[in-house]
Amino acid sequence: MTDTARLLSKQSFVELGARQRAKALLDDGTFRELIDPFERLMSPWLARQGVVPQADDGVVIAKGLIEGQPAVIAAIEGAFQGGSLGEVGGAKIAGALELAAEDNRKGIPTRAVLLLETGGVRLQEANLGLAAIAEIHAAIVDLRQYQPVIGVVAGSVGCFGGMSIAAGLCSYLLVTREARLGLNGPQVIEQEAGIDEYDSRDRPFIWSLTGGEQRFASHLVDGYAADEVTQIREKIHEFLRQGVPPVHRSQQAERFLQRLGALDAAPQIDPATVRRLYQGDRS
């Protein structure tokens, strides 16, 4: 392929919607959506608050194959309500992961890939979103006993709130430069802690602390890819071939406590300090 042909064949992943993303990651011709939009299983809570619901509640669940092996993809649509999770969307993800774990207990090696573009709990469904996210956490930890669970934060929404905890539970986490990963959204931190602590309108500052490149350099994620379908696909294949890691990042309490113990927490922090503190023994 000539360079020009290669350039023309490149496809942005970030620009794809949730359904197209899932399709792009499954082996050709194997995509099958569960509870598709024609089922019209929508949020029972939004309409009464004057918010127009969406037929898939912003979550696409697709089964298919990845490198010939059974897989399920849960893709969050960042364009609907900021990718926020309510009762239905949350239950779709939790339920799919629960069935994948059940498959494995029956000898079917179903793996899961989560495409995370989400602000976290949908505040219009507050406590049911939070409950669903707890169930997603439970299901990831359960499934992870058998198969790797892969999280992808491509952008442009990023991954926040309770779903950033879900990202932290994944066996492997893949990000792009567009991605942001953090517990609290910048606006909320500014509201709670003041603009000197966190300026939500200072985009370079926010990316320097929580952007994909920084997270990769700080060993808080496992892979860093360009915004390109083929690259993301190949990274996912690579992680799936590696299988379940011997120790997950979220199982390293002692190591993180030791690192945090070595930090002088008095001065305000900068990105380079985080990299120095966490780099070294990537495991």
Partner 1 sequence: MSTHSPRGLHWFQALSDGAAQVGGLPPSLKVADAQLGEWPARYLTVVADPANRFARARDGEVGLLEGWGLAHAVDQAIAADRDQPHKRVLIAIVDVPSQAYGRREEALGIHQALAGAADSYARARLAGHPVIALLVGKAMSGAFLAHGYQANRLIALRDDGVMVHAMGKASAARVTLRSLEELEALAASVPPMAYDIDSYASLGLLWQTLPVSNAEQPSPSDLGRVQESLIEAVKDVQASGRDLSSRLGADNRSASRQVRDLLRAQW
Hey, which residues between 107 and 126 contact partner 1 (CB under 8 A)?
120-121, 123-126
From the CB of 164, what's the least distance to partner 1, in Å? 4
Tell me which residues in 170-199 interact with partner 1 (CB under 8 A): 181-185, 187-189, 191-193, 197-198
Roughly what angle, to the nearest 10 degrees, separates helices 271-278 and 203-210? Answer: 0
Burial label, 142 (beta-carbon count in 10 A; 0-12, 13-18, 19+):
middle
Q: What do you get for the CA distance between the two ends of the chain, in Å?
A: 37
What is the contact mask toward partner 1 in residues 199 to 218, using x (rule: CB under 8 A)?
A: ----------xx----x--x
Q: Binding mask 218-257 vs partner 1 (x if CB under 8 A, - otherwise)?
A: x-x---------------------------xxxxxxx-xx
Q: Looking at residues 123 to 142 of the shown chain, list those that interact with partner 1 (rule: CB under 8 A).
A: 123-135, 137-138, 141-142
How many degrees, rounded to 5, is the angle at CA 210 between CA 207 and CA 216?
Answer: 105
Q: How far is the CB of 15 from partner 1 (least distance, A)?
A: 26
Shortest CB 261 distance to partner 1, Å = 9
CA-wise closest residue to 64 among 11, 115, 15, 111: 111
Q: Does 55 bind partner 1 (CB under 8 A)?
A: no
CB of 246 to partner 1, least distance (A): 15
Give the per-residue contact string, 11-50, with partner 1 (x = CB under 8 A; - = no). -----------------------xx---x-x-xxx--xx-
DSSP string, 231-254: HHHHHHHHHHHH-S-SS-GGG-HH
Token pair in block for residue 99: 């069935």
Name the nearest CA neighbour of 43 among 116, 125, 163. Answer: 125
Q: Which of 71, 91, 115, 143 binds partner 1 (CB under 8 A)?
A: 91
Q: How many residues bind partner 1 (CB under 8 A)?
A: 86
Q: Which stretch binds partner 1 (CB under 8 A): 7-15, 19-27, 232-240, 259-267?
A: 259-267
Beta carbons within 10 angstroms of residue 107's beta carbon: 6
**72 with 35: CB under 8 angstroms?**
no
| Residue 133 contacts residue 121 (beta carbons within 8 Å) | yes
Q: Which is nearer to partner 1, 234 or 270 (CB)?
A: 270
Shortest Å distance, C-beta 95 to partner 1: 4
Cis peptide upstream of residue 12 (ω within 30 degrees of 0):
no
